[in-house]
Amino acid sequence: MPNDPTVNIDKFTGIRNKQQARRLAPGSLVIAENVDVDNEGGLVKRQGSTLSLMASSGNPEDFNTFLGGGGGIGAGPPPPETGISAAFSTRDQRRTFIIDSGRLKLVNEDLTTVVLGEEFSSEYVYWLEAADFVLMSTGHIIDINNQVNLWRIPNPETPVVSHATGDLMAGQYQLVITYVDSTGREGGASDIAYFDVLENASFSFTPEYNGYSIRAYVSDANGSVMYFQGEYASGGVTVTSTSLLSSPIDDNQLNSYPAPEECKQLAFFESSVYTAAYDGIQTAVFSSQPFWWNLFDLRSDHLIIPGRVTVLHGSKSGLVIGTDDEIYVYTAEGVLTRIAEYGVPAGRALAEADDGMFYIHTNQGLCKLFPFENLTEDKLSLAPGDLCYTEVIEDGGYTRVVTMTDGNGAADNEL
């Protein structure tokens, strides 16, 4: 006599591990390896089981292959990249970059590669896409034409002035210079040089170019505003008159400097780049001048956050700041609000869906915002990992949130 099933399972509801297995509702899963639960509650084999690019250790499971990017690399036979330590894909999925054995490469659609830069370290890389540019925590910036330059532009040394005859009026003058890179991006100003000039005199200086062009800004006699005087690629500069100068230096360039070298995380919020530096106890989160991504007023434009910041991400509702112990939102009005009393692993824990919803992998499960809501705490508890990568994938007519971790850490409340 055949056995009739005692329970009919109409659909599967996903993994549950916060109750004893025998008490789980029908359709609950204890193990779900290499499968997806679709939007009808059915089980389908997961995609992504074919190796496309070899990881740094030669092991397809090497975690570094998958970190740092915004999308997939594609399918096809593995090319000879065997030292991949970082990867990133732009939101439009038109450009993918990898760092392979210290070389920054552009990955073409057919998985061939083009070398864009050399001598990159194998450290974990944070990436930020802003407009058509990609900023890297290595200190580099990639433009829309895939040209690579240094993101940080240093401040020049204060020019040393000498005097000669000319047409200047007598009085005190002010002078600063700035560096300009090969793309035309300009950095912060040198300290102001104050000096006196006699009637019918001029002044000159010879800057240290250090691979940049320089722009000079000079005040009128006894003036306080410095005006653009000229741009130079080499040699000394002599100023004999200031009467026709009319374009003042941007105030944001005064008292601003590149982001500290130890800054790693990157975010874009309210027209500024935000970055974070951890000192072993707390984290300083610095913001650039609006529209000047390489200029930071380090003395005043920063937040001090307890603990180690692991996530920075800008949104219309505020700057999400995740630490190893808490999660905050910093609004455009300058209000810092704690939204969770548990933290976030390092890496890329937060991802944005096409509908504007944000998902964040935390030490106590998957959450969404805004508003903040923990989606898994009532049913599932998993080891958060020390390092993770989260992405929202649109596939097969529905949306999935995928998180990969290094497997470390302890589940918060697993039975």
Chain segment 137-161, per-residue pLDDT in tens: 999 999 999 999 999 999 999 999 9
Distant-in-sequence, close-in-space partners of 214: CB < 8 Å, separation ≥ 6: 156, 177, 178, 179, 180, 207, 231, 232, 237
Contact in structure between 40 and 398 (CB atoms under 8 Å): no
Residue 341's pLDDT is 96
Closest to 310 measured CA to CA, from 260, 268, 350, 262? 350
Which residue numbers in the chain have pLDDT < 70?
1-6, 17-24, 27, 29-30, 48-82, 413-415
- Which pLDDT belongs to residue 154? 96
The pair of structure tokens assigned to 132 is 């058509």
pLDDT for res 69: 40
- Structure confidence at residue 189 (pLDDT): 98
- Which pLDDT value is given to residue 144? 93
What's residue 70's pLDDT?
39
> For residue 152, what are the CA distances in angstroms to 42, 119, 258, 264, 267?
50, 17, 5, 13, 16
Burial class (CB in 10 A: 0-12, 13-18, 19+), 322: buried
- Please give the biggest Cα pair distance in the chain: 117
| CA dist list (Å): 72 to 89, 114, 304 | 7, 18, 35
Q: What is the pLDDT of residue 409?
A: 85
Closest CA to 131 of 145, 144, 147, 150: 144
Contact 370, 359 (CB under 8 A): no
Closest of 302, 345, 342, 338 to residue 320, by C-alpha:
338
For residues 142 and 154, give the distance between their C-alpha atoms in angstroms, rounded to a whole number: 18
Cα distance between residue 15 and residue 72, in whole Å: 25
- What's the distance, CA 273 to chain centroid? 8
Output the 3-class SS for 63-106: HHHHCCCCCCCCCCCCCCCCCEEEEEECCCCCCEEEEECCEEEE
Sign of the C-alpha dihedral computed for residues 276, 278, 284 and 288 taken in this order:
negative
Alpha carbon distance, N-terminus to C-terminus of the chain: 38
CB burial readout 81-104, b (16+ within 10 A) else e: bebbbbbbbbeeeebbbbbbeebb
Check whether the bond before 371 is cis (ω within 30° of 0).
yes
CA distances from 244 to 69, 176, 227, 248, 336 (A): 50, 18, 10, 12, 47
- Read off the tokens for 196: 């006196």
Residue where the block lists tokens 């401040």: 155
What pLDDT does 75 receive? 37
- What is the pLDDT, as a whole number, of residue 230? 97
